[in-house]
Amino acid sequence: MGAPGTHETLLDEVLAANRAFLDGDPAPRPCALGAGRFLLLTCMDPRLSALLPRAFGVGPEEMVMIRNAANRASADAVRSLCAAFFVLSAKEVFVVGHTDCRMAQWTAMDVLNALAKAGVPRAALGGKDPREWFGAIGSARQNALDAARAVRACPVLPAGTPVHALLVDSGTGALEVLEKGYGRDTTRTPPPAAPSPGVPPPISPPPELDVPALAPPKPPAREPPPILPSPVRKPATGLERAADVLRKLRGRKP
Ligand SMILES: [Zn+2]
């Protein structure tokens, strides 16, 4: 990947390596600026498995790919990115969508047909829209941009960590920069103001993550107080009346 020291940023180095790859120089070479690991959030598409390391000009062992259907910044994907960032000493994050993503082409009818063919009832989707349940996307470009912004907003990544949004051509490996991640730490969501004492903060996940909002806890149902029977004075029996008279007589001073 390029001669060491000739590029200002890691992204510049990646793009230079990508040009070399497209020119027919696929041999992975060490990267000067990226010493450590290249950390990617990308799609499950098997075409990317061998293509992406070559397109970045690095060896497969230098690239950590967190993958799911359509490179969504789900809560677990962001958790894994953060774990890889700290455990494997990454410095920058690349969210890489790709052209011809099947998750952008899967129609609701395709999903339902696939389920029916496999004998899975539609009720298994729990009433959700078929494409929504599987996380299908509308546009690979917009999805990569959205995912990069969601990753940037994660408060566990150190402030200022560059998170780039790229699109790779699934056939040629050509990289296109959709959004550079440098100098974008100001987009980080400010922490919420401290709650006043005695008022518990509302429980809600970060809006960028694909997590359904948690419903506020329901207050315990108040049951009406039990209706106690009013004390009923029973008529005193003859023996009780006699004992009462005796008690009064004993208490009387001679
Ligand atoms: Zn895909």
pLDDT value for 196: 43
| Cα–ligand 1 centroid distance for 102 (angstroms) | 5
| Cα–ligand 1 centroid distance for 118 (angstroms) | 22
| Cα–ligand 1 centroid distance for 77 (angstroms) | 15
| Cα–ligand 1 centroid distance for 147 (angstroms) | 13
What is the layout of strands, in order, in the sheet containing 63-68?
63-68, 37-43, 90-98, 163-168, 175-179
| Cα–ligand 1 centroid distance for 113 (angstroms) | 20
pLDDT in tens, 178-224: 999 999 854 555 445 444 444 444 444 444 444 444 444 555 555 55
Task: List CB-based neighbours of ion ligand 1 within 5 Å.
Answer: 43, 45, 101
Topology of domain 10-101+138-181, per CATH? Beta-carbonic Anhydrase; Chain A (3.40.1050)
Q: What proportion of the chain, given as a percentage, has pLDDT over 70?
A: 66
The stretch 66-90 carries a mean pLDDT of: 95
| Cα–ligand 1 centroid distance for 215 (angstroms) | 32
| Cα–ligand 1 centroid distance for 248 (angstroms) | 97
- Give the tokens for residue 118: 């496999």
| Cα–ligand 1 centroid distance for 167 (angstroms) | 11
Q: What would the DSSP string read from start to end of 22-68?
A: HTT-------STT-SEEEEEEE--THHHHHHHHHHTS-GGGEEEEEE
Residues 6+ apart with CB under 8 A from 80: 66
| Cα–ligand 1 centroid distance for 5 (angstroms) | 34
59 vs 113, more confident: 113
Asked if residue 41 lies in contact with residue 71, where contact means CB atoms within 8 angstroms, the answer is yes
pLDDT in tens, 4-53: 456 789 999 999 999 999 999 866 665 655 556 789 999 999 999 999 99
pLDDT value for 67: 98
Q: Residue 94: enclosing H or E segment and its boundaries? A: strand 90-98
Residue 227 has pLDDT above 60, yes or no: no
110-119, 154-163, 241-250: least confidently modelled range: 241-250
Alpha carbon 18 to its chain centroid, in Å, reads: 30
Q: What would the DSSP string read from start to end of 55-90?
A: HHTS-GGGEEEEEETT----HHHHHHHHHHHHHTTE
pLDDT in tens, 133-152: 999 999 999 999 999 999 99
| Cα–ligand 1 centroid distance for 67 (angstroms) | 10
| Cα–ligand 1 centroid distance for 52 (angstroms) | 13
Q: Which residues of the chain does CATH 3.40.1050.10 include?
A: 10-101+138-181
| Cα–ligand 1 centroid distance for 101 (angstroms) | 4
